[in-house]
Structure 1
Amino acid sequence: MQLQVGKPVAGAEHYNGMVDCFRKIIAKEGAGRLYRGLVPPLMLEAPKRAVKFAANDFWGKTFKTTFGVDKMTQGLSILTGCSAGATESIVVVPFELVKIRLQDKNSTYKGPMDVVGQIIKKEGLLGMYAGLEPTFWRHVMWNGGYFGCIFQVRSLMPKAQTKSAQLFNDFVSGAVGGFVGTAFNTPFDVVKSRVQNSIKVAGQAPKYSWTFPSLLLIAREEGFGALYSGFLPKVLRLAPGGGVLLLVVEFTLGVFRKQLGPPYL
């Protein structure tokens, strides 16, 4: 949905929402096409989440020391999240690039390694980092919204008296954070998808390159709503996913702290 350029044209295929997109893909290309580009996200998910939370912990400690405070504040939680997102974006770009190239409905690539091989052959190793700048903004916005909301929602929820109540609080905080982060970052995600799907042609400037000019271009040509293409499937994935992510991280850290003893509690 994010790769649809321009307004609907009579007689041309166009996806009119998530359900219509599912229906047309299955009808014309088969259910297996829904899993096109699965390998890059599978390879990326574990290191991506590890970097996200490790970077958030690192930047949180760094900023508290820098600003001379003992406890996290709302402002610092947002700044910390944005910094974690910036760090995470460096890891993500090559995997996202391969996924986008495979998921384009006009894609003729044979698989992930074919994408990698062709990009390196035509553009060199740095070609694997096409779309770094919009990916940077995408992750800065999502992580800032996510970790900022977690801090705020936790402070508003009743103090947990049991382990199950604490896990529930973590899930709700993460889910709200996932929703807000997705609302903030979807326009940047649309630009990132367009940039990464642009094949370089010698002597020809790509239509989409830098983030903010591309945001204005899409809004002018297709309307503001085009910047939120694919929002529904994104938020259905990332809102509950954000809750599960925080729940699992906090639960796992609790287990390790208990096993490692007092210094880590």
Structure 2
Amino acid sequence: MRIRRIIMGFSQKTEPNLDHAIAGAASGFITRFLCQPLDVIKIRFQLQVEPISKCHISKYKSVSQAFLLILREEGISALWKGHIPAQLLSITYGTAQFYSYNVFIKMMQKLPKIEQWNHSMHFIAGTGAGSIAIIISFPFDTVRTRLVAQSSNHQVYNGVLHSCSSILRQESPKVFFSGLLPTLLQNAPHTGLQFAFYKFFTDCYKRYTSGTDTNFYNSMLSGSAAGFITKTIVYPFDLARKRLQIQGFQHGRKGFGKFFQCNGLLDCLKMTVKEEGIQGLFKGLVPTQIKATTTSALHFTVYEQVLLLLRIL
């Protein structure tokens, strides 16, 4: 009985944070599985130097054309290319993000008069949580990008373990963190803005409907709006991150057109504008906005619903 009381006491102390971690992991897994095809198309667009236009001799010309071309050339499985490292990324990121966010919120709620800075508090907590989640999960993102970027007809990597061992053997461990700076510049404020906008829209929804709880419809609508707005704001950094992650990977990009070479974040942004114009910084924005709207809605909704289920259990 004494052991049981000790275990129950420990469980009660850790349950809230553990619930947020479990809900974050479930949210990351489900969202990634459903939205992976949009991510594959987005990455292919981001890495293509040639214009995304029906009037140009480019491999990918539109979302629908890219979708059908990938199906025809590589099969349906190509739309989930890099899915295993992507799942590892999403589960790790979701767990770290929501767990850290919950910890930061609890810490700041102890500060005097913090309620006057409600939305700022969510932005700061989201930015801190996003930074921690990015650093922890970033190697999975690099591996996923390499696997998605390679042609099925010129495969360099045969899976997650092979790609990791090849990078370590042929390049260096720091390659796993290539593009970390633009990712932090993009995703840290992106996560902060996402949480702040989500809180803002959920509060607006509650005022409009005279509700008190964040229900399914509130999460879906607020998550969609938050995802769309924040991703559009920080998009050029997302494009730069993907291009930096494939530096030194020319041999895996045969058949995809001209290879983009750059040295660092500023050079990447400058070379993109020089070769492709300002619009080049927003290449792949449409599938990204579709993906961001969908994933953000699913991310917050699944998270809230799993939390609710855990409370009932």
Q: Give the TM-score, by structure 2 length.
A: 0.72
Offset of 1:184 from its aligned partner?
A: 2.2
Letter of the 1:117 partner, please give it.
S
Question: Residue 218 of structure 1 corresponds to which residue in structure 2?
Answer: 272
Task: Tell me, yes or no, if the aligned pair for 2:52 and 2:62 is still in contact at 8 Å.
Answer: no
Question: Residue 244 of structure 1 corresponds to which residue in structure 2?
Answer: 298
Offset of 1:13 from its aligned partner?
A: 3.8
Question: Residue 4 of structure 1 corresponds to which residue in structure 2?
Answer: 48
Cα 1:200/1:239, change in 2 over 3 Å: closer
Cα 1:67/1:220, change in 2 over 3 Å: farther
Question: Residue 180 of structure 2 corresponds to which residue in structure 1?
Answer: 132
1:191 to 237, 240, 262: 240
Task: Tell me, yes or no, if the aligned pair for 1:133 and 1:210 is still in contact at 8 Å.
Answer: no
Offset of 1:105 from its aligned partner?
A: 4.2
- The answer as to 2:124 corresponding to 1:79 is yes
Offset of 1:258 from its aligned partner?
A: 4.7
User: Higher mean Cα deviation, 184-193 or 54-63?
Assistant: 54-63
Task: Tell me, yes or no, if the aligned pair for 1:134 and 1:211 is still in contact at 8 Å.
Answer: yes
- The answer as to 2:228 corresponding to 1:179 is yes
Task: Tell me, yes or no, if the aligned pair for 2:50 and 2:58 is still in contact at 8 Å.
Answer: no
Letter of the 1:127 partner, please give it.
V
Q: State the identity as a percent.
A: 22
**Deviation digits for residues 143-173 of structure 1 (CA, Å, limit 9, x no counterpart):** 1221111121122113466799722112211
1:102 to 144, 147, 166: 147
Tell me, in whole angstroms, the C-alpha distance in 1 between the residues paired with 2:127 and 2:267.
21
Letter of the 1:5 partner, please give it.
V
Offset of 1:121 from its aligned partner?
A: 0.6
Tell me, in whole angstroms, the C-alpha distance in 2 between the residues paired with 1:30 and 1:255.
37
Tell me, in whole angstroms, the C-alpha distance in 1 between the residues paired with 2:211 and 2:51.
53
Tell me, in whole angstroms, the C-alpha distance in 2 between the residues paired with 1:150 and 1:175.
9
Offset of 1:178 from its aligned partner?
A: 1.3
Offset of 1:6 from its aligned partner?
A: 4.6
Tell me, in whole angstroms, the C-alpha distance in 2 between the residues paired with 1:110 and 1:200.
15
2:309 to 247, 250, 255: 255
Letter of the 1:32 partner, please give it.
S
Question: Residue 91 of structure 1 corresponds to which residue in structure 2?
Answer: 136
1:142 to 187, 190, 196: 190
Task: Tell me, yes or no, if the aligned pair for 2:243 and 2:268 is still in contact at 8 Å.
Answer: no
Cα 1:68/1:119, change in 2 over 3 Å: farther
Q: Give the TM-score, by structure 1 length.
A: 0.83
Bigger relative CO (Cα 8 Å, ≥ 6 apart): 2
Offset of 1:20 from its aligned partner?
A: 1.7
Tell me, in whole angstroms, the C-alpha distance in 2 between the residues paired with 1:183 and 1:117.
35
How many residue pairs match? The answer is: 255
Segments of structure 1 that go 5 or more residues without pairing to the other structure are: 260-265
Question: Residue 34 of structure 1 corresponds to which residue in structure 2?
Answer: 79
**Deviation digits for residues 178-225 of structure 1 (CA, Å, limit 9, x no counterpart):** 112221232111111100011179xxxx94343344223312321122
Letter of the 1:55 partner, please give it.
S
Offset of 1:65 from its aligned partner?
A: 4.3
Question: Residue 263 of structure 1 corresponds to which residue in structure 2?
Answer: none
Q: CA RMSD in A?
A: 2.9
Task: Tell me, yes or no, if the aligned pair for 2:157 and 2:163 is still in contact at 8 Å.
Answer: yes
Letter of the 1:198 partner, please give it.
Q
Tell me, in whole angstroms, the C-alpha distance in 1 between the residues paired with 2:116 and 2:110.
10
